[in-house]
Structure formats: structure tokens, C-alpha cells
Structure 1
Amino acid sequence: MPEHTRDTASLGDFEFQCGESVPDLELAYETYGEFDGDNAVLVCHALTGSAHVAGARRRGGTSGQAAAWWDDIVGPGKAIDTNEYYVVCANVPGSCYGSSGPTSEHPETGEPWGVEFPAVTVGDWTEAQRLLLDELGVPHLHAVVGGSVGGMNAIEWAKRHPDHVDRVAAIAAAERLDPQGLALDAIARRCITTDPNWQGGEYYGGPEPTNGLALARQIGHVMYLSKSSMEDKFGRRSAGMDAVRDAFPSDPAAGFFPYRDVESYLDYQGEKFGERFDANAYLYLTRAMDNYDLASGYESGADALAAFSGESLVVSFTGDWHFTVEQNEELAGSFRRAGADTAHHVVESGHGHDAFLVEPDRLGPPLADFLDDGVDGRAVTDTREEDEDESEFAPVHTSLFSD
């Protein structure tokens, strides 16, 4: 088995983009495989992921995510082969899985930072990862790979540190979140901040806003599924006579109507998430994602990537309405206009945004070949080049809000 380490790095005083600092930024990280000087691959996790990207299950609540979130992709003989690559994954600042964030101890008070923790951005994540790699003795990356907001983190590497990375793989990502995504995230945050237990973010040591956090997570789950996947998974089926509506209070008339599978699923997922994640961290991370814009500070996304001379792979999924095929093609277009060798690989899928986590058989081959051979990898296809009419490139994405 390749070597696996799990540790926390103290990176010293760190100034965030907002202008505020923490005296000793800590990042929880894991590494897999052995470093040989030019085989490092940084994996960037999605919104509520952790450093535990692969391997055995872990115990614990907010101290560590139990399941290895990309174990089907990262490991010996897998798409990101830890027999070949030295894989690093770090929990981002602002999260609650071991890195500095709202749940961390404030050095002056001994209490959790709460909402006094500085606002974080995707750029802050990237700079913190660069400092961590310096600590690990990794000056240069063979590749950086990320899905969802982790894909935004990956492309920020091409923007901020273009000379430090050869290949960038952004999966189910975008240059920025669209207004629909912004709106849903805003509602999710209001679920948290209107929970009476939120207490302005100072709830540590007392009842936590688990109901608000659970509702926020329910909105997230709806965003991650497609209309067709929800039909296949739940339909309009009742959850059955044994199902109990005990996660959230119901109105008096509810007993007359069926408690449906889809409701039961959302209640369960929301309740479990409330047990393992921190409400303030969810506020911080969603704002970092919402605020991200590749073109910020530049005239365009292509201008932001102009210094990157490596190769890029963009992967999108046809059923994903959270980060659509069209949004991914915009990102691929910016890489192309910047002069980077680029492929946009479109996967036909009905799974929605979660496809990058649940369809390793479709994602794995192009990702593995891209890491090995760049855009010339045998399983890497650029669908745009297959369609002479670019206006017909992207299939209409499946939306929960379409008729």
C-alpha cells in the first residue's frame, strides 16, 4: 500500500484577502504515495469535504468526515493513482474538519472564533495550500484537480500560481456561480441565521442551530440532483407506514397526506449533516463559493489565465444544472483563449451535480489519461471539436425548475 500520512500544519501568521489575520493558521491535510520531485497532485475538495479524500473510514463528527469522499477516484491503480502520484489534500480555511475556522480556538479568548473569524475566499484557500506545499517541500505540482467549488480552487491555481502547476483539471465547476445558484445559497444561509439557536453565530457551548443547518443542507441536496435522477430515485412514492416525521415539526393537516420518499430522504440527510458539520462554517464556505469570479481583477477569464502555459481539462455532466455544461464550456473557452491546450470532456449523465462523486467509471478514464498524457490522452475528448456548430455544443441541461 502507498504511504499515507495525516497531520496538521501550522503555517504562522496568515492575512486573508479581507485584510484580517489569524496568528497561526492551521491546515489539516492528508498525503498519499511518495514524492519523487515532480509527481505531486493537489486534490481540492468540494464545499463540505475534508482532507480525507481516500482510504479507510474515520470516526468522529466535526473533527473528521467519516467517509473518504473520493475513494473511487484516488488510490492504488485508480484514476489518481497513488502508486504513481504523490497526492495531497487539505481541508480549507473556514471549514470545520481540522483546519482553522469558526470552530477553532481564538488565541486571545480560548473560546471558538465564531463569526469573529476572518471572511475567507477561494483565493485564501489557494494561498494557504501554497504555504502547505512549501512546508511539505513541494515546489511544483504536476496537477491540481478539483470538483465543484474545488474546481474553482483548481482554476485559481492557474490564475495565482501559473508557474507552479503543469495541468489543471476542473470538474463540474465554473468561472462563477450563476444568479440561480446565488439565490438558493442565500436562502440556505437564511435558514441558518433565522434559527433561534444561531444566536448571531455565538452558539458554542449551548444549543446549536441544527434545524437551520439541516434545512440549508436540504436545499443543497436538491441543487445536487437532477430532475430525472429525482424521478428515478423517489418518484411520488410514499415513505411507508413505518416512516416517522420526527426530524422536523409538521402542520396539523400533514397526517392526512403521505410522507413521501423524497421528504424522508431530505429529512434524513439534513439531520445527519447537522450532526457532523458546523453552521458558521457552512455560512463561510458558501459565501466563499458565491463570491468567486475567475475574472475578478481582470478584463476577462482569459486575461486572468494568460500567464498559465500548461494544459487544462474541463469535465461537465449533462444532467448538472448547478454548474451546467454551458458554464463549463465558458471556462474551457477562457483557457483556450489564454493559449492553454484544453479539452472539455462532456459526460452524458442523469445524476446531476453529484455525478462527479458517483460516476467514477465515466470520470476516471479521461481524468487518468489527462494526468498521464495531458489533453492527448486516449480517453480525453474535446466535445467542442466534434461539433462544427458551437451553438449546438451544449445539450439543454436538466433543471428542477423546468416544465
Structure 2
Amino acid sequence: MKTDSGTVDVGAFDFECGADIPSLDVAYESYGEFDGSNAVLVCHALTGSQNVAGYGENTAGQARAWWNDIVGAGKAIDTNDYYVVCANVPGSCYGTTGPASPGPDGDPYGTDFPPVTVGDWTRAQRLLLDELGVGRLHAVVGGSVGGMNALDWAQRYPDDVRHLAVVAAAGRLDPQCLALDAIARRAITTDPDWNGGDYYDGDPPTDGLALARQLGHVMYLSKASMERKFGRRAAGRDAQRESFPTDPAAAYFPYRDVESYLDYQAEKFVERFDANSYLYLTRAMDDYDLAEGYEDDADALAAFEGETLLLSFTGDWHFTTEQSESLAESLRELDAPVAHHVVESDHGHDAFLVEPEKVGPPLRDFLDDGVDGRAVHDTEEEPESLPDDRDFAPVHSSLFSR
């Protein structure tokens, strides 16, 4: 597949907060050939990057592309058919301008970087696509907060999107997730090395960022998946508590598998991500509310005349099936073509990344045939937790093999 990557300076950028910067670089990758009507924008999740597919030279600090099982030649988002673009969002640290980027004085912006919103991400993506010669999009696809980004496209640029695929997302975060994000940010800002965000010439706040990431991982897993993966097992004789200071009495107690997993994930994360970016991006996610400035979600999406696919996962308590069903109901109020495809999974929020065999078929058929796609409407028995008159399609593990 033809792949292109780079950074485009879209010029001076005015943020929704009222501040501006003299230039905004937007890092992107594209895959496939553009024929004028086949562009698909993929919006990445919180700590993802533009490297959505392949194993190219630029992996943006990540071990592998984050949705390589979904995007590519012959895959669900088929780069033989579609021209796929993924852009790193403002405020991140993978090439698009953010807190770690040099400001006008040559020093990193740090916390002088303007606050960012999901709307800023969408407007930056629109500017990038303009530079790439892409007008109306065949589809916008996003998972997690990338799904919020996709929803913002439908609200902000309704005439620019034919198909909208919102995966494991919602119109806003609930109070429990807001609370956990607040704790994660406090872990960073109370780390002495954070130094008010001015740490680029010294030691970064790795302990605080590591704790924030560990909290995030707990949010992304379900009780069932944690029981299956870890149980109460000890990590073994060779495992050691090296990531964080501990009290002397801790040696008496087992160092458990779940602790070892969280420590490993934290160690890897602090090697590739910027603490200030984590603060900025979680605040953008927390702030997003589809209905802000409108009567409700239906009013916010009233101008969007395209088709919508909502994918949710039964084990996801970060963005629940009920939240996706609420979005679907808002679109039904508008008589808009929408399908809510519920995937039975106990993987938690991570399901959209780790179960491509369940995500791929409905997504592929939706991009090809809209809400009438065959796999979009594969059904078995509906979950008891939702009304039986809803237009959604639960998918059970037996439908697909690994």
C-alpha cells in the first residue's frame, strides 16, 4: 500500500480558548490512493498517534501501529479501496505542535501552550485535509476519545462527512470517569519533578505520569478481563518492585501479577509520552460535551445527513453500551440512518483495540454499504440490559473465530 507521512504547517492557529500561536504543525500519515471521493479520516485515541497502520520507519514512539489489524490492504478499512488519513492532534507529542514543542522563543511551550479542546483537534484536521486536497470525506472513524472527535466532525462540518463510525465512545464522560481523570492529573502535578510544567531541561515527572497511566489502564479493563489475566496470582520469585518506592514491610507480601503488569505498562509509557500532553489531552476529553450550545444531542447532530454506525462493547464501563444507545436514540429522533452494533465482550474499553475480529466485519460493511451492510445487522439474542425494540446488532464471540 502506498504510504505517506510528514508534517504540514497549517499556519497561525486560533484556539477555542481565545489564545493563538503563530504556526501549527500537524503530523499525519496517509495510506492508499486518493480518487477524489474515497477519503477516510481515522481519529486516534488519547495517547495514540498518526501511526495507525503498518510498520513504517516512523512509528511515532510506539512499538507498532495502534490499529494495524483494522487499517491496511484487504483489512476492514481497506487501503486498496480507501485513502486513509490519520493526524496527530494538537497538544499531543508525536509531531503535532504541543507543550513539548518549541515556542516562538525557541524554548518548549510547557504550560504556556494554550488549552486545547476536541473542537481544536477537528479544526486542525480540517486544515490538514485542505492542504492535502481532500474535501468531502467518505467517512470519519474514531475510537474512544477519537470517537468524540468523529462526533465533533458530524456536528461542526456536517456537509463534509458521508459516513460516521463512532467506536467505544460517547457524547460526554460520566462523573466517575471525570473523577478518575482528575486523580490522574493530580498524580502528575504533585510530582516534584513536574515543576509547574517546566521540566524539559531537567528530570521529567515520570513517577506522576506512571501513576496516571496505571490508573488509565485500570479504567480500560473490565473486572472479568482482570480476573482472567491476573487473578490474585503472585508475579513469581524473579519479579521485583522496582518502579515505585515501597515500605519495608511490603517484602512480606506477594508482588502480584496485576501489580507487575501495571508497573511494566507504566515504565513503557513514560518512555514515549509527555506528561504535559497527558494533562492537556485528558482535559480536552473531559471538557467535551456534544450537546454544549444545543438543546440536546439530537439538536447538535440535526444538520448531519449522513449515515452513522455506533459500536459499543458490553464489558466497557468507560464508555458504556447505554451511552451509545442514547446517541443512537438521538439520531433516530431525527429519522437519520443509524445502526447501533453491540459487541459482546469482557475485554473492557480495550476491546476496540484487541478484538479486531469483532470490530472489523461491521466496520468494513458499513464503509462499503452504510447501515444496510450485512455484518452491521448480524444478530443473535439481544442483551437483557437494553430495550427489545432498539435497532442494534449484538455480536457474540461464536460469530467470529480468532
Asked if these proteins are the same fold (TM beyond 0.5), I'd say yes
2:361 alignment partner, SS class: helix
After TM superposition, the score normalised by the length of structure 1 is: 0.94
Letter in 1 for 2:85: V
- Counterparts in 2 of 1:163 and 1:29: CA distance versus 1, 3 Å: same
1:330 and 2:326 matched: yes
RMSD: 1.9
Aligned position for 1:54: 53
Identity over aligned pairs, percent:
71
Structure 1 residue runs of 5 or longer lacking an equivalent are: 396-403
Aligned position for 1:358: 354
1:380 alignment partner, SS class: helix
Q: Give CA-to-partner distance per residue, 1:134-159, whole Å, 9 cap, x none.
A: 00000110000000000000011000
Aligned residues: 391
Is contact 1:384-1:393 (8 Å) kept? no
Letter in 1 for 2:107: E
Distance across 2 between alignment mates of 1:187 and 1:78: 38
Aligned position for 1:222: 218
1:223 Cα deviation after fit: 0.3
1:145 alignment partner, SS class: strand
Is contact 1:8-1:27 (8 Å) kept? yes
Q: Which of 135, 141, 166 is 2:137 aligned to?
A: 141
Is contact 1:314-1:328 (8 Å) kept? yes
Distance across 2 between alignment mates of 1:382 and 1:122: 33
1:130 alignment partner, SS class: helix
Aligned position for 1:84: 81
Aligned 1:159-170 pairs, distance under 5 A = 159-170=155-166
Distance across 2 between alignment mates of 1:387 and 1:318: 9
Distance across 2 between alignment mates of 1:29 and 1:235: 40
Aligned position for 2:34: 35
1:252 Cα deviation after fit: 1.4
Aligned position for 1:375: 371
Is contact 2:206-2:270 (8 Å) kept? yes
Q: Give CA-to-partner distance per residue, 1:44-73, whole Å, 9 cap, x none.
A: 00000000000015567xx53331000000
Distance across 1 between alignment mates of 2:378 and 2:10: 40
1:372 Cα deviation after fit: 0.1
Distance across 2 between alignment mates of 1:360 and 1:387: 21
Q: Which of 145, 160, 180 is 2:176 aligned to?
A: 180
Structure 2 residue runs of 5 or longer lacking an equivalent are: 395-402
Aligned position for 1:314: 310
1:251 Cα deviation after fit: 1.3
Aligned 1:292-303 pairs, distance under 5 A = 292-303=288-299
Distance across 1 between alignment mates of 2:272 and 2:171: 29
Q: Greater CA deviation, 377-386 or 218-227?
A: 377-386
- Counterparts in 2 of 1:206 and 1:153: CA distance versus 1, 3 Å: same
1:240 Cα deviation after fit: 0.2
Distance across 2 between alignment mates of 1:100 and 1:287: 17
Distance across 1 between alignment mates of 2:266 and 2:383: 41
Aligned position for 1:74: 71
Is contact 2:184-2:215 (8 Å) kept? yes
Is contact 2:382-2:388 (8 Å) kept? no
Is contact 1:344-1:384 (8 Å) kept? no
After TM superposition, the score normalised by the length of structure 2 is: 0.94
Q: Give CA-to-partner distance per residue, 1:53-94, whole Å, 9 cap, x none.
A: 00015567xx53331000000000000000000000000000
